[in-house]
Structure 1
């Protein structure tokens, strides 16, 4: 779905006043509308490990959680739970979604003292699912979130019903273009330090970004820039993490869980050559490649992505 009609009233607010308070209010109101349309609500909770989480979960007024299969959706590096809202909107009512901001991201605990490895994040997510009293669940992750999904499957294979790898790290075969810019520049385009630099982040991440008013992009950029120091810490942890370099390590062949590999063919960060490598190493995997789509298919092509996962989750339903 297009966002333009949903943001009409906040665009009007923007033109009526240049006040920063008004634009921030409009941004929050527009995002709240999107969550509401997707049947998602905000929650804040602190788990036994001391992490204070911001999560989105499906509304449950119509029927109990137990009557729907649970799906844990994990965003990528320097992103947050909002990346999944349009995807969840396409599947509203079919599943019970748990969509957290990961530690180090969004409104969840963010500090320089935590370790942000795939294994550590997976352990925290299992603690979160325990707190929510959810024993079994599907998991799908984008980019870094895919590598965390694989770590979850290693730590708790008896709890994971299926895995979704969406332009996933784990093998982390970067494109030549992305490797070149990381080698030739002192800055990472995925870590904006100013609101203006966030434009470059979007260009690297998406081939077909959804429509967003310019003031929304500016606010998002300011939020990302404010978290730059923590994002740099997360990135340093990733560079040294074995969980990001699983190829030919005899780890993936041991994961006997149905897996869907979904990829955007135009991904500028993790090339489509990752798909064949995942299929070769994961015993119960199959793949779908979306033409004309970049690194974040669930945000760029939520309808196609949701259709793929709806069919997959129904097929592997226990």
Structure 2
């Protein structure tokens, strides 16, 4: 093992089971075994037969719970499932310890292929936005539409507030941070995360805060918690350095699916200025900007995001009908001013 490598975690079979993951009313969890990974899938029973499938992919340090509000709002619109990426939520680490963007995308593809679930309406936030972009680029047959909330695509000038997250992927930093913060309570940690990820942490209800603290306490018990965070952060940084056909911006240009981009004006992790570059890169794109939202608009303003997706769904359904005269590839830019999202 070189000095830059992280210590390996115990095999999945010997990892202790942590406290139970929270399941909201109407949700259910199941585990799906795939080559090299085991994924936990959060789902809601379809409101009726014949709904098109949707799959939601969370960001760094998140889980399928990040999409619970959105999934509930889209009952009767799509058949919703959210994945816990390997090493996050209730999914154990991957067998090979690979947390790269490509590996996460491979896990999503393997799940969709195994379940014969595609094409899906694919949603991604932050790291999950980069993963979803790669899935849509390399397997267009699996993606019906693409909705990206603050996707973690490469930036030339990274925001100062995002630097610590990138540094987490540096050798030794996670261990140092773990030692430095060992006296921090789960409540302290959650307040820090919410201050970083929300445009207005005051929008978090006391119940949601309590659930987040309980989840943080559960995660801190996991022996692979910091390993998964560190390796995924490193995988994201490495993806930023890739050029050519494997570069994320080049892959964004290859996406064929109608795409909805959502950016928050108070995002401290993904630069708001990247919204226009992203809108120019995805060929069939709509852009929604929410001036008061932070990094997790689907959690801060789920009604606004759900409405925007319904509009995308209605537009693409109409475009698929002969004789509608819909033009593909048009950019529709709107500034969110409903549900408290406006300035």
Range of TM-score over shorter length: 0.7 to 0.9
Distance in 1, matches of 2:308 and 2:233, equals: 30
Name the SS for the 1:94 alignment partner.
coil
Distance in 1, matches of 2:195 and 2:241, equals: 27
**Alignment check: 8 A CA contact 1:119 1:243 kept:** no
Relative to structure 1, the CA distance from residue 211 to residue 107 in structure 2 (aligned partners, 3 Å threshold; closer, same or farther) is same
Question: What displacement does 1:50 show?
Answer: 3.5
Relative to structure 1, the CA distance from residue 102 to residue 248 in structure 2 (aligned partners, 3 Å threshold; closer, same or farther) is closer
| 1:46 matched to 2:44 | no
TM-score (norm 2): 0.73
Distance in 2, matches of 1:294 and 1:244, equals: 27
Distance in 2, matches of 1:243 and 1:129, equals: 28
1:279 is matched with which residue? Answer: 279
Relative to structure 1, the CA distance from residue 183 to residue 53 in structure 2 (aligned partners, 3 Å threshold; closer, same or farther) is closer
Question: What displacement does 1:228 show?
Answer: 2.1
Distance in 1, matches of 2:258 and 2:247, equals: 19
Aligned residues: 282
Relative to structure 1, the CA distance from residue 141 to residue 113 in structure 2 (aligned partners, 3 Å threshold; closer, same or farther) is same
The two structures, once aligned, show a CA RMSD in angstroms of 2.9
| 1:117 matched to 2:100 | yes
Relative to structure 1, the CA distance from residue 222 to residue 161 in structure 2 (aligned partners, 3 Å threshold; closer, same or farther) is same
1:174-219 deviation line (CA, Å, top 9, x unaligned): 323323786699569x998652323211110112342134543432
Q: Structure 1 residue runs of 4+, over 4 Å off?
A: 180-188, 190-194, 242-249
**Alignment check: 8 A CA contact 1:170 1:243 kept:** no
TM-score (norm 1): 0.79
Matches within 5 A, 1:1-318: 31-32=22-23, 34-36=24-26, 40-47=27-34, 49-60=35-46, 63-64=48-49, 67-110=50-93, 113-172=96-155, 174-179=158-163, 194=184, 195=186, 196-209=188-201, 210-213=204-207, 215-226=210-221, 227-242=225-240, 250-317=250-317, 318=320
Unaligned 5+ residue runs, structure 1? 1-23
